[in-house]
């Protein structure tokens, strides 16, 4: 498979940039399947990081609300 076709396939399936697709193909020595697996793992990691950040923000907001309620009373 031509490199450009591999890049287009990765972009289409994973919604990533050309730069990311090229990087993934370089890391996986041109294996499209391995590049797809790696891209999926990266996306899951990014989603998990955002979920962790959101939980931390929510916990801080809840703590501030509790402090505010205690101060009012």
68 against 58, higher pLDDT: 58
- Using one digit for the tens of pLDDT, what is the confidence trace for 21-64? 999 999 999 999 999 999 999 988 888 888 888 888 888 888 88
Within 10 A of 54 (CB to CB), how many other CB atoms are there? 10
Quick check: 35 and 7 in contact, CB under 8 A?
no
Residue ranges covered by each domain of the chain: 3-72
DSSP letter for each residue of 42-72? HHHHHHHHHHHHHHHHHHHHHHHHHHHHHHH
Of 9, 7, 10, give the one whose Cα is nearest residue 38.
Answer: 10
Q: What is the pLDDT of residue 52?
A: 83
């Amino acid at each position: 498979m031509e490199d450009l076709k591999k890049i287009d396939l990765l972009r289409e399936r994973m919604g990533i940039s050309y730069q990311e697709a090229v990087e993934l193909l370089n890391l996986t020595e041109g294996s499209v399947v391995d590049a797809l697996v790696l891209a999926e793992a990266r996306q899951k990691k990014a989603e998990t990081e955002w979920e962790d950040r959101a939980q931390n923000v929510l916990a801080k907001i809840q703590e501030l609300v509790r402090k505010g309620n205690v101060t009012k009373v």
